[in-house]
Amino acid sequence: MNIASMLKAVSGIIWFILIAIIALVVIQAARKTPMKKGKTLIITFLVIAVVLTTVSSGLVFINPEERGVVISAVAPDGYRKQALQPGLSWIIPFAETVKVYPISRQTYTMSIAPTEGNTGYDDSIAARTLDGQEIYVDASVIFSIDPTKVVNVHILWQDRYVDLIRAQSRGIIRDAVSQYRVEEVVSTKRFDLVQRITDEMRKKVEENGLILDDFVLRNIAFSPEYAASVEQKQIAEQQAQQAKFVIEQKKNEAEQAREVAKGLADAAVTKAQGEADARIIQAEAEAKALQLIADVIKQNPAILTYQYITKLSPNVEVMLVPSESPFLFTIPGLTNTPTGQ
């Protein structure tokens, strides 16, 4: 409690005591038993009460987060040009009064949720985008009174400066939203939208003695029809993504099948090539062997007859020589003639 408030409290007590004394004096006088020094007490407490009341009416204490506008009956314009600064100040008792304004930051919230907004009901801003879609914006405006312009705020708005914040912000938000398409508002251009609103609001409120500390775009809601269409679009996109995934999966499976088939084909080709190469090598070896045999026979033809004879059946006992040879030979060793017969 500051000294000005204490003096007002003390003066109130003195006035209460003065009234009690007056009542007691009147009662005693009615009973024919006048109170000694009654008049003296009344005069004394009256003087004290008047002095304290006068002094307490002239003293004003301003808190650090406040400024005071002096309404004066003796000033030419009806008010002092300069606001009272923090601390204890003196005004002319009974000729001047002080209207105190806060200069600390204040927040005004407009929300679709009644418990979040300042009004207690749905106070969201309905706005239409460039493509005609209706959206609902929740926003908070953080502002304060310019300490150097408190007197101007009192003259222009008094306690109604919050109405200025509400009216200006709603109009500026609607104008800004109308410059963007709905997809831009909720995604790519949201930051630009907030910046546009902030710049425009700062200019407007400064013209009226206020300071815009921050603008917060809390939420953007859609009409039920648009929300349903967005949901359907998202479902369609999800289904398209799922179909694309299935197609990619089938492509991968087909690619894998092609790779497997290619591997099997390459293996078959490799096997066939190997077998062909083996047959060629075998044929070349047989050809070389035959050539060697032919060379040997050419040099020694009797070898052929020898080979022929070795391949005969064991039952053959005689053989015919070519027709131009008049000989008939017995093949020795092929018959088992017992000795002595």
Determine the 3-state secondary structure of 88 from DSSP: strand
pLDDT score of 232? 67
In sequence order, what are the beta bridge partners of 71? 79, 97
Residue type, 262: K
Helix axes 190-206, 161-177, angle to 10 degrees: 150
pLDDT score of 324? 56
Closest CA to 98 of 57, 159, 132: 57
Low-confidence stretches of the chain (pLDDT < 50) are 327-328, 333-335, 337, 339-341
Cβ neighbourhood burial of 150 (10 Å; 0-12, 13-18, 19+)? buried
Closest CA to 79 of 155, 161, 157: 155
pLDDT score of 340? 45
Q: What is the pTM of this model?
A: 0.61
- Location of structure tokens 């013209």: 207
Contact predicate 90/149, CB 8 Å: no
Distance of CA 78 to the CA centre of its chain: 54
* Cα four-point dihedral sign 250, 255, 258, 259: negative
- Does an H or E element contain 107, and which? strand 106-110
Cα–Cα distance, 207 to 165 (Å, whole number)? 12
pLDDT score of 323? 55
Calculate Rg over the CA atoms of the chain: 60
Cα–Cα distance, 186 to 169 (Å, whole number)? 19
Determine the 3-state secondary structure of 108 from DSSP: strand
Cα–Cα distance, 264 to 209 (Å, whole number)? 86
Give the helix ranges, DSSP H, for the chain: 3-30, 38-58, 150-156, 161-177, 182-183, 190-206, 224-299, 302-310
Instruction: Give the pLDDT confidence of 147-191 residue by residue, as tens digits.
Output: 999 999 999 999 899 999 999 999 999 999 999 998 888 888 899
Contact predicate 219/185, CB 8 Å: no
